[in-house]
Amino acid sequence: MNSKVTASIAEQFADMVCALRADPSRIPDSVRGAAAQRLLDNFGCISFGRTVAPARKIADLVTGMGRGNCRLVGSNERTSPTAAALAHGTLAQSFELNDLGAYVHPGACIVPACLTGMDLATEDVTGAAFIAAMVAGYEVTVRLSECVGPSSELDIGWHTPAFHGAVGAAASTAMLLGLDKAAVAQALVIAADLAGGGLMLARLGSDVKRVHCGRGAETGVLAALMAQSGLRSRLDTFEHPDWGYCRTMTASTTAFNLDVIRNGLGEDFVGFRRTAMKYYPVGAEVLGMIDSVSQLKEQHAFSPADVEDVEIGTPAFFVKAEGHEFPETDAQIHFNSEYGVAMALIHRVRPVYEDRSILKHWLTGYSEPEVRELASRIRHVVNAELDRKNPYGIDSVVRIRLKDGRVLEQRTDYLKRADSAGTMQFAEMGEDKLVRKFRALTHDVLSTPAQDMLIATVNGLGGSADARCLWAAFDM
pLDDT at residue 207 is higher than 50: yes
- Give the helix ranges, DSSP H, for 229-283: 245-250, 259-262
Q: What is the pLDDT of residue 261?
A: 98
C-alpha–C-alpha distance, residues 451 and 254, integer Å = 48
The structural domains of the chain, ordered by start, are 3-277+429-474 (1.10.4100.10), 284-417 (3.30.1330.120)
Q: What is the pLDDT of residues 110-145, one digit of tens each?
A: 999 999 999 999 999 999 999 999 999 999 999 999
Nearest to 283 by CA among 378, 217, 199: 199
Q: What is the pLDDT of residues 23-42, one digit of tens each?
A: 999 999 999 999 999 999 99
Average pLDDT value for the chain: 93
**Are residues 417 and 405 in contact, defined by beta-carbon separation less than 8 angstroms?**
no
Q: Judging by beta carbons within 10 Å of its beta carbon (0-12, 13-18, 19+), is residue 23 exposed, middle or buried?
A: exposed
CA distances from 396 to 15, 103, 187, 337, 387 (A): 40, 17, 39, 11, 10
Q: What is the pLDDT of residues 70-114, one digit of tens each?
A: 999 999 999 999 999 999 999 999 999 999 987 799 999 999 999
Strand-pair category, 78-79 with 378-382: unpaired
C-alpha–C-alpha distance, residues 329 and 71, integer Å = 32
Sequence-distant (6+) residues with CB within 8 A of 342 are 371, 372, 374, 375, 378
Name the CA radius of gyration of the chain, rounded: 22
For 144, half-sphere exposure in the C-beta direction (CA atoms, 13 angstrom radius) is 36
Nearest to 4 by CA among 262, 258, 189: 262
pLDDT at residue 392 is higher than 50: yes
pLDDT at residue 362 is higher than 80: yes
C-alpha–C-alpha distance, residues 130 and 9, integer Å = 23
pLDDT at residue 418 is higher than 80: no
C-alpha–C-alpha distance, residues 434 and 167, integer Å = 27
Sequence-distant (6+) residues with CB within 8 A of 441 are 44, 45, 47, 48, 97, 352, 356, 359
pLDDT at residue 250 is higher than 80: yes
DSSP E strands in 129-207: the ranges are none
pLDDT at residue 200 is higher than 70: no
pLDDT, mean of residues 370-395: 94
Nearest to 164 by CA among 193, 144, 187, 185: 144
Q: What is the pLDDT of residue 1?
A: 33
C-alpha–C-alpha distance, residues 51 and 356, integer Å = 14
Q: What is the pLDDT of residues 140-193, one digit of tens each?
A: 999 999 999 988 887 888 999 999 999 999 999 999 999 999 999 999 999 999
Nearest to 424 by CA among 294, 270, 320: 270
Report helix, strand or coil for 250: helix
Q: What is the pLDDT of residue 416?
A: 62
C-alpha–C-alpha distance, residues 365 and 205, integer Å = 16
Question: Predicted confidence band at 428 (pLDDT cuts at 50, 70, 90)?
Answer: confident
